[in-house]
């Protein structure tokens, strides 16, 4: 596909999504502001640049080493970019994550939270932190189990440098996601946290109706990913 066509497609997809998001938010009980995170993992650089040139600021990546291949250079050209880390965070990648990312959506255990808190104290950087909840109790999935959320939130709230903002979930595949989104909304209210990262290409409108403030959308913007997911 020519560059020009690529650019038009990505820009058009973003425009359509922004409109759908605005509609879903207007129809939700909460009338919340919703941030569209363009999930650029495993997408070609030309498509990422097309989104940047269309004026989009928020991007999501799920692997630190992949993200560092292009975002430091792109941030020089597009300084207003806001980066969200949405994948499983390994301990040895914490300092890169805190240095390069404005938000981390996937905190799910106390030792990770403590190490991030230490890094925030040492660097003065304070990315927005989301606790990932394994709402479906799925053994293969990251996220803290629902029964451990209460203790974990309290532990995080006692960490002085941790900028705890809300919750994130990825509902199980192949079932209606609304119960999971509703559960996460309840948690946000219970702990008075403002942000909810939930909803992807296939279910973002449902997520917004149930209070999502951040939707993470990849394929509906950029098309199918290259290689593994
Ligand atoms: C890949 C990914 C997405 C985007 O999924 P799409 O179906 O392409 O919209 C959202 N959230 C997380 C955590 C992801 O890893």
Closest of 32, 41, 40, 42 to residue 57, by C-alpha = 40
What pLDDT sits at residue 1? 61
Rounded to the nearest integer, the mean pLDDT of the chain is 96
Distance CA 21, CA 26 (A): 9
Q: Which residue has the higher pLDDT, 114 or 227?
A: 114
Q: Is the pLDDT of residue 193 over 60?
A: yes
Confidence label for 229 from pLDDT (cuts 50, 70 and 90): very low
Q: What is the pLDDT of residues 145-188, one digit of tens each?
A: 999 999 999 999 999 999 999 999 999 999 999 999 999 999 99
What pLDDT sits at residue 126? 98
What pLDDT sits at residue 200? 97
- Closest ligand 1 atom to residue 225 Cα is 8
Structure pTM? Answer: 0.96
Question: Cα-flanking dihedrals φ and ψ of residue 28, to 5°?
Answer: -80, 160
- Closest ligand 1 atom to residue 222 Cα is 8
What pLDDT sits at residue 228? 53
For residue 1, what are the CA distances in angstroms to 7, 47, 55, 221?
Answer: 10, 11, 21, 16
Q: What is the pLDDT of residues 5-21, one digit of tens each?
A: 676 799 999 999 999 99
Q: Is the pLDDT of residue 70 over 70?
A: yes
Q: What is the pLDDT of residues 34-49, one digit of tens each?
A: 999 999 999 999 999 9
- Closest ligand 1 atom to residue 219 Cα is 8
Distance CA 77, CA 4 (A): 20
Compute the average pLDDT of residues 50-61: 97
- Closest ligand 1 atom to residue 218 Cα is 8
Residues with CB under 6 A from ligand 1: 39, 41, 62, 86, 170, 200-201, 216-220
Angle between helix 45-53 and helix 3-27 axes, rounded to 10 deg: 60
Query: Taking a C-beta distance cutoff of 8 angstroms, is the pair 155, 110 a contact?
Result: yes
Separation of 217 CA from ligand 1 center, angstroms?
6
**Residue of 39, 42, 167 to test ligand 1 pocket, by largest number of atoms within 8 Å of CB:** 39
Separation of 156 CA from ligand 1 center, angstroms?
25
Q: What is the pLDDT of residues 86-122, one digit of tens each?
A: 999 999 999 999 999 999 999 999 999 999 999 999 9
What pLDDT sits at residue 226? 86
Q: What is the pLDDT of residues 17-27, one digit of tens each?
A: 999 999 999 99
């Amino acid at each position: 596909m020519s560059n020009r066509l690529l650019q038009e497609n990505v820009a058009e997809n973003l425009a359509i999504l922004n409109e759908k998001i605005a509609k879903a938010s207007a129809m939700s009980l909460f009338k919340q502001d919703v941030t569209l995170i363009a999930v650029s993992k495993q997408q070609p650089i030309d498509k990422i640049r097309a989104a940047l040139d269309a004026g989009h600021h928020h991007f999501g990546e799920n692997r630190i080493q992949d993200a560092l291949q292009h975002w430091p250079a792109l941030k020089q050209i597009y300084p207003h970019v806001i980066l969200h880390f949405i994948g499983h965070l390994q301990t040895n990648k914490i300092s890169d994550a805190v240095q390069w990312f404005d938000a981390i959506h996937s905190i799910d255990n106390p030792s990770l939270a403590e190490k991030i808190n230490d890094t925030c104290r040492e660097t003065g950087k304070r990315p927005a932190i989301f606790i990932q909840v394994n709402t479906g109790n799925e053994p293969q999935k990251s996220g803290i189990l629902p029964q451990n959320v209460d203790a974990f939130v309290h532990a995080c709230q006692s960490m002085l440098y941790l900028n705890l903002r809300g919750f994130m979930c990825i509902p199980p595949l192949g079932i209606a996601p609304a119960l999971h989104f509703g559960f996460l909304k309840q948690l946000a209210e219970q702990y008075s946290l403002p942000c909810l990262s939930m909803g992807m290409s296939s279910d973002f409108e449902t997520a917004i109706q149930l209070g999502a403030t951040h939707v993470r959308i990849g394929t509906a913007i950029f098309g199918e990913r290259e290689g593994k997911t």
